[in-house]
Amino acid sequence: MRLFRHARLLLLALVVSLVPAVSHAGVFISVGFAPPPMPVYVQPPCPDPGWMWTPGYWDYGPDGYYWVPGEWVPAPYVGALWTPGYWGWSTGLYVWHPGYWGRHIGYYGGVNYGFGYFGIGFVGGEWHGHDFAYNTAVVNVNRTVIHNVYVNRTVIDRYTVARDSHVAYSGGPGGIRHEPSPGELAAEHEQHMERTSFQTQHVDAAMHDHNAYARYNGGHPQNLVAQHSASEYRAEQQHAAPQQHYEQRAQPQQHYEQRAQPQQHFEEHAQPQQHVEPHAQPQYHPQEQYHAQPQQHYEQRPQPQQHYEQRAQPQQHYEQRAQPQREQHQESRPQHDDHGGHR
């Protein structure tokens, strides 16, 4: 019974190792079988100063391993260096470690990607202040537009882990054997930047290319490199610029929302008006109160009319003084007796 249980566990572990586990968040990808060997190709010339070479590699997609062509891309900032990603062996699976931008080259498994990435660091050039100088001993550049170059072949042997090796993974059965150096470990703990949007578009295009998958090309992809000129890159940036510019212009709306907080603050200061209402509630009548206040104010202003009525009293006094005249007039009339005669 115990042997049967152990056999079931071993069978389950075998099945899990054969089924790839993919995380589409770009953080964790593991596959139960190794990637194909690295193909041999020719590097296109660097089209413009400040561009960096990102070597081709095998990525994993819906139909298995697919080839992401190598390409020149603009450095995202002055001093930026690209550390390529690599497949590493871990607990019976091949795990993908994505590449990144940083000030120093980190660990990439000792895989020989060529063109300056021979397993340790990058010897295809170096930054001299704000300018990047290219080592034409290992990289290809367009001399008509790039003049900051030098030649150093001695660095090739010192930074090569496995010469003439086409193995595309580190560790595991038949993998590259290279432990990270203290400098590579230190570079991994520095501040990093993920691949640029230009690189992401490049990877997405390769993933949707049917011919890029090893199951269809037998491990020999046709599009080994991607050639982009500086004018093409600028055109793509200008095409994408309105969206980026729109996102930047959309920030004032967020700033407007932040500035809208004073309205809330105004409402807080407006609470005294609400505090007045409870005192006004006993006398509150929606229509009467609205119309009564002007009438009260009007009744106060007509007081001069009352004063005018007070001044009109002489008329009453005139009437009073006129009464004696009427009385005298009545008295002056001859009185008749009951028989119609005068008294």
For residue 165, is it left (φ>0), alpha (ψ between -120 and 50) or beta? Answer: beta
The yes-or-no verdict on residue 153 having pLDDT over 90 is yes
Residue 227 pLDDT: 86
Rounded distance between C-alpha atoms, residue 206 and residue 68, angstroms: 6
Task: Identify the pLDDT of residue 251.
Answer: 40
The band of 92, judged by pLDDT with boundaries at 50, 70 and 90, is: very high
Residue 238 C-beta-side C-alpha neighbours within 13 Å: 6
Is residue 65 scored above 70 in pLDDT?
A: yes
Q: How far apart are CA 326 and CA 222, in angstroms?
A: 135
Query: What digits encode the pLDDT tens for the residues 42-51?
Result: 999 999 999 9
The domain ranges of the chain are: 17-226, 274-327
**Burial environment of residue 18 by CB neighbours within 10 A (0 to 12, 13 to 18, 19 or more):** exposed
Cα separations in angstroms, 234 against 85, 208, 231, 243: 26, 24, 5, 15
Higher pLDDT, 69 or 315: 69
